[in-house]
């Protein structure tokens, strides 16, 4: 079954792509959810005309996305996280945390366009993520997960207070 995608569908294609899928997948999922429509001859002609008109606008969008990608690559992103023994994190770091870190740097990227290998990171260190700004602009962004020093300082300061309380109880 040939379909024209209306929206981006992960692992299938981008909006305005013509894809071939199994009948059940197209008829029972893609069309009812509004992700695609049938690729009839008239729909293909309309799509071709639409793509011709949009080609010029698309080129400017790609150039803007490439500029934004270069600016984001220049960032030195370090995400602070609470760390236990052996550089293991309390919890994990995922694409949402990276999205928030990039937002703080002044660039807004939706978390669904960020892909971290393995989805979750559970140790400190240097990692890379793939970021898609446009269907033709995909780049890798290096980032680092570091230990949150403020958490350790609070723990060290809290420990002596507990000892003081214990000595008062002994008297």
| Domain end residue (candidates: 42, 65, 88) | 65
Q: Are 12 and 21 in contact (CB under 8 A)?
A: yes
61 CB-near residues (< 8 Å, 6+ apart): 134
CA 112/CA 70 separation, integer angstroms: 20
Do both 32 and 108 map to the same domain? no
What's the pLDDT band for 131 if we cut at 50, 70, 90?
confident
Q: Are residues 103 and 20 in the same domain?
A: no
List, in order, residues 6 or more apart from 30 with CB less than 8 Å away.
3, 5, 9, 21, 36
The domain boundary, picked from 65, 81, 110, lies at 65
Domain of residue 44 covers 2-65
Q: What is the pLDDT of residues 40-91, one digit of tens each?
A: 999 999 988 888 888 878 888 888 888 888 887 777 788 888 887 777 877 7
Q: Using an 8 Å Cβ cutoff, are 21 and 3 in contact? A: yes
pTM equals 0.56
Please check whether residues 87 and 9 belong to one and the same domain: no
Average per-residue pLDDT for the chain: 79
pLDDT given for residue 168 in this prediction: 34
The string of pLDDT tens digits covering residues 138-148 is: 888 888 888 87
């Amino acid at each position: 079954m040939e379909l024209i995608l209306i929206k981006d569908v992960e692992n299938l294609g981008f909006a305005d792509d013509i894809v071939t899928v199994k009948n059940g997948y197209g008829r029972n999922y893609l069309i009812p959810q509004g992700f695609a429509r049938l690729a009839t001859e008239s729909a293909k002609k309309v799509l071709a005309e639409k793509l011709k008109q949009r080609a010029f606008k698309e080129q400017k969008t790609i150039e803007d996305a490439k500029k934004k990608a270069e600016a984001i690559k220049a960032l030195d992103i370090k995400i602070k996280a609470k760390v236990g023994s052996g550089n293991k994190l309390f919890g994990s770091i995922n694409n949402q945390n990276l999205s928030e870190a990039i937002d703080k740097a002044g660039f807004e990227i939706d978390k669904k366009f960020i892909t971290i290998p393995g989805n979750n990171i559970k140790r400190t260190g240097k990692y890379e993520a793939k970021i898609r700004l446009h269907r033709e602009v995909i780049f890798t962004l290096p980032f680092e997960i570091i230990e949150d020093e403020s958490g350790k300082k609070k723990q060290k300061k809290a420990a002596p207070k507990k000892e003081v309380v214990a000595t008062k109880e002994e008297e």
